[in-house]
């Protein structure tokens, strides 16, 4: 098995933007899930802003990707677009990407609530392991710009018909206030 590096994306990684978008689209079609369509320009914006994580094989192949975005005056952060290229699936790479995306979210926005919406059982399981809990959409950001991002999803009509309060996706939330470290008085 070749080595795969998972790290914060840099400008040079924009060369993978088309491939990332295509992988997202193909995966949504195969799974018949609600992955919203993204453009290479959108992916490049996330990379330029330092809000993306990429996985690259030792020989320079794109292996996976994820990004974050802040909403509601930076009080909410979405972990989005987690994708692993077909060739690299089954290696535990999605968990490594998710972990780096989560760490990046906590670094850039330490007080923000982190959320994810997904139809994927594997993503739900990973989020749960990171301390996320399932929540109704009303507990997620009410920023209308976030919900505009769902317009490229095949299930957008369901979301819209339910006034952005319910869809096929499950909302998952990590609230840092629920995960405060408790130190014993004798510890230094």
CATH of the domain at 73: 3.40.630.30
Reduced to 3 states (helix: H, G, I; strand: E, B; else coil), residue 110 is coil
Please choose, from the candidates 73, 78, 76, 56, the residue with its C-alpha nearest in 3D space to the C-alpha of residue 65. 56
Decide if 142 is inside a domain: yes
Alpha-carbon distance of 24 to 68, in angstroms, equals 16
Decide if 134 is inside a domain: yes
Per residue of the chain (188 residues), give pLDDT as tens.
569 999 999 999 999 999 999 998 888 777 766 566 789 999 999 999 999 999 999 999 999 999 999 988 889 999 888 899 999 999 999 999 999 999 999 999 999 999 988 888 888 899 999 999 999 998 998 888 888 878 877 788 998 999 988 888 899 999 999 876 655 566 55
pLDDT of residue 33: 62
Place of tokens 């979405």: 78
pTM: 0.84
pLDDT of residue 149: 78
Backbone angles phi, psi at 61, to 5 degrees: -85, 145
pLDDT of residue 147: 83
Decide if 49 is inside a domain: yes
Alpha-carbon distance of 105 to 93, in angstroms, equals 18
Q: How many domains does the chain have?
A: 1
Decide if 184 is inside a domain: no
CB of 87 closer than 8 Å to CB of 95: no
Residue 115 belongs to domain spanning: 4-178
pLDDT of residue 186: 62
37: number of Cβ within 10 Å: 13
Q: Which two tokens stand for residue 56?
A: 């690259």
CA dihedral 71, 79, 128, 147 (to 10 degrees): 50
Decide if 187 is inside a domain: no
Decide if 183 is inside a domain: no
Decide if 168 is inside a domain: yes
């Amino acid at each position: 098995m070749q080595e795969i590096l998972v790290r914060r994306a840099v400008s040079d990684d924009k060369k993978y933007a088309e491939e990332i978008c295509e992988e997202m689209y193909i995966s949504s079609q195969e799974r018949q899930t609600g992955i919203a369509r993204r453009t290479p320009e959108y992916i490049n914006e996330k990379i330029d802003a330092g809000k993306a994580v990429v996985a690259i094989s030792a020989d320079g192949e794109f292996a996976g990707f994820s990004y974050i975005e802040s909403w509601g005056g930076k009080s909410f952060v979405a972990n989005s677009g987690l994708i692993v290229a077909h060739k690299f699936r089954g290696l535990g790479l999605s968990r490594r990407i998710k972990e780096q995306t989560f760490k990046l979210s906590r670094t850039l926005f330490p007080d923000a609530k982190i959320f994810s919406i997904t139809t994927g059982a594997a993503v739900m399981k990973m989020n749960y392991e990171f301390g996320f809990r399932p929540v109704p959409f009303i507990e997620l950001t009410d920023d209308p710009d976030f919900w505009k991002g769902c317009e490229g999803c095949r299930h957008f009509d369901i979301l819209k018909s339910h006034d952005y309060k319910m869809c096929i996706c499950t909302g998952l939330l990590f609230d840092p206030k629920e995960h405060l470290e408790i130190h014993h008085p004798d510890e230094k």
